Each structure stands twice: as C-alpha cells, then as structure tokens.
Amino acid sequence: MLEIGMVAPDFSLPDQDGKTVALHDFKGKKVVLYFYPKDDTAGCTKQACGFAELYPQFQEKDAVVIGISKDSVASHKKFQEKYNLPFTLLSDEDKAIIQQYDVWKEKSMYGRKYMGIERSTYLIDENGVIARAFGKVRPGDNPKKMLKELPQA
C-alpha cells in the first residue's frame, strides 16, 4: 500500500464510456479510489452496489467514487449498465496504475498462487494527498466504512 501523507500518483485512464479521466480532474474534491479484481463477480458486485446505494451520501460530503480494475472499457460499460452504477469505472488493462498504487499482489486460492488485484481503497483529499489507505478490504463493509472516513463537507 502507498503511504498516508504522500501525494497520490496521478493517472489518466479510460472510463466506461471510453472518455479519459485523470485524477487531477478532481482537485478540490475528496476521492474514494477503490481497486477491485473483476467486473460482475459476487464480491465486486456487492462492493459496487454498496457504493451505488450510498453514492448520494458521498456526494453530500463532496466526494467522488472511482473504481479501477484491469477489465476492458466494454466490460465496465456492461457492469455499469447492469447494476445502474452512478460513478466512474476506469480500465487499467496494462496494470500500470494498479501497480503504481501497489495493489497487484500474489494471491492464493485452493493452494494455487497467482497474481491479482488485492481489493484496496484509498481516500485522497482535496489536494491530491493520500489521507487513508485500506488493503484487503471486505466488499460488503467497504462502502459504509469509507463513508464514515469522510469528514463532513
């Protein structure tokens, strides 16, 4: 995980509509940046729908929610439409930003080791500085926990 207090690495990635979105576009707002393994899987859907359900409350606190995975723009579009997700999903197919944010980790399932995204969430303040960092987050709890981490607007 990246350190609290460091400037969050900037990025420019395509969103679910193919439009380029950069972190610096959100200067002056709080950003909940979450990294997740795969569109339309049980845990990732639970997490995304949790953020969607609480999205108006994130907006009240002047925060934006951004999800990043290595899925394609087309996959993100299907995921967004299927669950009516009101926030931005970014595609990092070459894993450059995923690696820059130190969430590409060795994982293990049924004794088999493989590389994948460790479900992680960063809270980035209005000046682009990492205010909070959470690794190995639980998909069902993460949206509520991140809402509590946000100061009132």
DSSP letters for 21-34:
EEGGGGTTSEEEEE
Q: Please give the pLDDT value at position 84.
A: 98
Region 10-26 average pLDDT? 98
Give me the catalytic one of 8, 44, 123, 131.
Answer: 44
12-149 homologous superfamily: Glutaredoxin (3.40.30.10)
What pLDDT score was predicted for residue 81?
A: 98
| Domain boundaries defined on the chain | 12-149
Catalytic-residue membership of 44? yes
- pLDDT given for residue 152 in this prediction: 65
Q: What pLDDT digit, counting tens, does each position of 21-71 carry? A: 999 999 999 999 999 999 999 999 999 999 999 999 999 999 999 999 999
Which residues, in sequence order, are CB contacts of 10 under 8 Å at separation 6+?
22, 23, 24, 128
Compute the mean pLDDT over every residue in the chain, rounded to the nearest whole number.
96
Q: What angle do CA 147, 151, 92 make, to 5 degrees?
A: 55
Q: Are 123 and 141 in contact (CB under 8 A)?
A: no
pLDDT recorded at residue 109: 84
